[in-house]
Structure 1
Amino acid sequence: MKKYNPFHLVELSVWPILTSFSFLSFALGVIIMVRSFYCTPFLLSLFFLLVSSFLWGRDVHREGCYEGQHNFQVTVGFKVGMILFILSECFFFLGMFWGYLHLAESPALEMGGVWPPVGVSPFDPKGIPFLNTVLLVSSGVSVTWTHHAMENGEFKASLVSLVVTVVLGSVFTMFQLIEYYVASFTFSCSCYSSVYFMGTGFHGLHVLIGSALLMICLFRFSFMTISPNHSVGFECSVWYWHFVDIVWFCLYLIFYWWGV
């Protein structure tokens, strides 16, 4: 049947609904693991989430690279969707910042009337948090360098800078785990620790997702399937990574610097 519009009408696919159910089971698995330390549901849901996401992404990649379905109008739709997604994530973290600031400005008497609560030793903002800030800011610079080099046709420079970005993101995650390991408080110690682990934990999850997206782009760079005229996936990944940078900067200022 002849198509009378410039948009790509996708074929029927089972991957979106399977990925949605995998996300739901993943969230339930996290709750079960936190409450009862039973990891099997979490690991199974994570496996199915990764498999369904990979297969869905494979189909989208095939449509764009080998079938030529992603014309200008389709790529604009991808970019608008990514902007709206990042905007929704901004409001998600805004709720955490709001909760933290509300608790800090009016600490309850049950916590001793002070912030942080009595018995909680916050982290030194000039220690690991500052190092992580330097790492993420540096990764933002290197991923921008990757984009600039790719636009100028400098393949080797873009590949090297993208590897640097992925390494910096991995080191950031490692230091965040070390910070959790040496923390003097747990998730259930107080409202301070709950908001801290929720905010930094969800940001860490976003760093992992961003690192995975950049690693996919790295493989695509290796196989020469990204070019200045075919780079919407890479551009969206760069936008997401800069969003992660900005959120961490706000986390550092509010959770580590201002809140101690």
Structure 2
Amino acid sequence: MDLLTIILLGIVEGVTEFLPVSSTGHLILASALLGYDSEYWAVFNIVIQLGAILAIVVLYWRTFWAVLMGLARFDPVSIRFVRNLLVAFIPAAVIGLALHKYIEALLGSPITVAVALIVGGIAILVIERTVKEGDIKGVADIPLAKVVGIGFIQCLAMVPGVSRSGATILGALALGVERRTAAEFSFFLAIPTMLGATALELLKNKDAIAHGGGVGFGAIAIGFVVAFIVALLVVRWFVGIVTKHGFSPFAYYRIIAGAAALIWLLTK
């Protein structure tokens, strides 16, 4: 049963990490649905996110290699690329550390997730229908003031169910960034954000890990690989869907999934 849970959670993470549907929210709902101890799986759920992050590094390795080579030449475009990622990451790092205990309390509330899914879905539809297509193309070309705004908007995702990718993508759209660039900026921003979250979780649980508490390293390795493979497939599909159809399909999914989860949680 543990192996099935490991594989299922790896799939859930790989599918939802970069879609605007909240990977953390789905993992919380999965814990309620399957009835397992969420604290026992806490480190697992955080660390396997690195598998999904590795998928971004693999898919966009040419971009990262070009930036690395550009930094060696002090290329202005590469410098702005890295600057934008680091600046957008800072608000989440500072606020996340300051409010860590409050955020942890919310992680134990499936009802919060269900409501956030519904509200977030409605927000996506509103933004899709009221915000005009932006003309800012390229992560390095996003103005610094808008980068700061996106960084603070990302902090909304500290409420489980809001979706980190959803908040950053929609925030970027509202600030005039075109769809593909908004999605890719969200992908790239996930790297420092999730590395920071994972480091914090591992530090917090270092004693339990050292004494063999929680899920073992073998289980984490399996979940990591599953999340990596699934994310590889999902990201390319997602970019294609967004480019052609926008974010509305994900909004409808959020509303339906959130409503179904809310009804189930209130009637079980």
Report the TM-score, using the length of structure 2 for normalisation: 0.30
Compare the two structures and name the one with the higher helix fraction. Answer: 2
Larger Rg computed on CA atoms: 1
Bigger relative contact order, structure 1 or 2 (CA pairs below 8 A, ≥6 apart): 2
